[in-house]
Structure 1
Amino acid sequence: MKFEETTIKSDRLYEGKILSLKLDTVEIPGKKYSKREIVEVSGASAIVPILDDGSVIMIKQYRKPIEKITLEIPAGKIDLGEEPRETAERELREETGYTPSNMTYLTETHTSPGFCDEKIYIFLAKGLQAGEQDLDDDEVVETFNYSFEELIKMIERGEITDAKTIIGIFMARDYLKKEREK
């Protein structure tokens, strides 16, 4: 079965600072036509920072689109010309003040492929050196340390709902478990 769609026409509807919106007319299998509203985003990196005692540094912040305070792993958008690993390290330093001596790529994920092209790269950070937070002018975050067990219970209770955080926590936990078993 053929799944691919062919773009017939693409109209840019909005161009913003962090995203753009386009409307594509596509031909779908069976010679039918449809419209696709697509949000384009530069992408992001996230990082699961592990302290020497095994706890995870998390950030708490307010997220306007969902009107809630969230608990998340540090993350941010990839700047023009920046590699995903550089973004993860920069965001860790800005949001927590920590700098890693060891970073491991865990995975990448598409946040909402039904309407958005955003891809988030997720890393694990160890060998953390403490420093000073360097938040952007529009950022208000607070850091907290949790064990993996606490975080997984929070996920199970629905207290952590951010997808990149849930993926990052489980991927990091499994990676560290395999590393210990070697």
Structure 2
Amino acid sequence: MTRRLPVIHGVTEHDAGPYRFEQLDLEFANGERRLYQRMHGRGHGAVVVVPMLDAETVLLVREYAAGVHRYELGLVKGRIDAGETAIEAANRELQEEAGYAARSLTQLRALTLAPTYMSHQTQLIIARDLYPQSLPGDEPEPLDVVPWKIDSLHELMLREDFSEGRSIAALFIAREWLRTQA
């Protein structure tokens, strides 16, 4: 069933650091009116990278996560800088965070965090044919690089220090995509 999008009668904006908050005055097809809020990021999007060291091994990084005040395992990820494509950003972040570059990068799809109130999208990139190559990053300390067998994702999912939703979703999507490529 295709629904007509709500009519936007007005938008009120205010700035909040790295985000712009909007309040939308919406009217739905059934005549109901509601105020919705949404956040827009100020950047050019983000990437999450699934770096495949070989056909069976993904590289994870362990870094400090201020939101939960602990060290977290996850995938390489970061912002897309102005003038960069998602592929270029993925290769740069891979070099900054994991100390590798990739000869083959494939953009699979966009992931959203909370699409009911955030416009932010993260591009999922698979990096293959890796080789050692480092760039200085913005992290205050070197990140631990942890190889993990992609067939052991069931063990990774149960770890307390692996909780970031984009990393979890990206690994399962990548695993299924890689199976179709074999």
Q: What band does the TM-score fall into relative to the shorter chain?
A: 0.7 to 0.9
Identity of aligned residues (%): 22
Counterpart mapping for 1:80-159 below 5 A: 80-132=82-134, 134-138=136-140, 140-156=142-158, 159=161
Question: For 1:57, what is the secondary structure of its paired residue?
Answer: strand
The amino acid of 2:108's aligned partner reads L
Q: Distance between the aligned counterparts of 1:140 and 1:24, measured in 2?
A: 40
Q: Distance in 1 between matches of 2:112 and 2:5?
A: 18
Q: Which moved more, 1:84-93 or 1:148-157?
A: 148-157
Amino acid at match of 1:24: Q
Unmatched segments (≥5 aa) in structure 1: none
TM-score by length of 2: 0.86
Tell me: CA distance 1:25–1:53, structure 2 relative to 1, closer, same or farther (3 Å). Answer: closer
Alpha-carbon shift at residue 98 of structure 1 (Å): 0.5
Q: How far, CA to CA, are the matches of 2:103 and 2:15 in structure 1?
A: 43
Runs of 4+ in 1 over 4 A off after TM superposition: 156-159
Q: Secondary structure at the match of 2:53?
A: coil
In the superposition, the TM-score normalised over structure 1's length comes to 0.86
> Are residues 1:178 and 2:180 paired?
yes
Alpha-carbon contact 1:41-1:118 (below 8 Å) kept: no
* Cα gap change, 1:89 to 1:78, in 2 (>3 Å): same
User: Deviations along 1:77-102, whole A, 9 cap, x unmatched?
Assistant: 11112111111111001101101111
CA contact (8 A) 1:51 1:127 kept: yes
Q: How many residues align?
A: 177
Q: Which residue of 2 aligns with 1:70?
A: 72
Given the superposition, is the C-alpha separation of residues 151 and 11 from structure 1 closer, same or farther in structure 2, using an over 3 Å criterion? same
Which residue is 1:79 aligned to?
81
More displaced stretch, 53-62 vs 25-34: 25-34
SS of 1:66's partner is coil
Q: In structure 2, do the counterparts of structure 1 residues 122 and 139 end up closer, same or farther at CA, with 3 Å as the change threshold?
A: farther
Report the secondary structure of 1:81's partner residue: coil
Shift of 1:7: 4.9
Secondary structure, counterpart of 1:61 in structure 2: strand
* Partner Cα separation in structure 1 for residue 157 and residue 165 of structure 2: 10
Report the RMSD for the aligned CA atoms in angstroms. Answer: 2.1
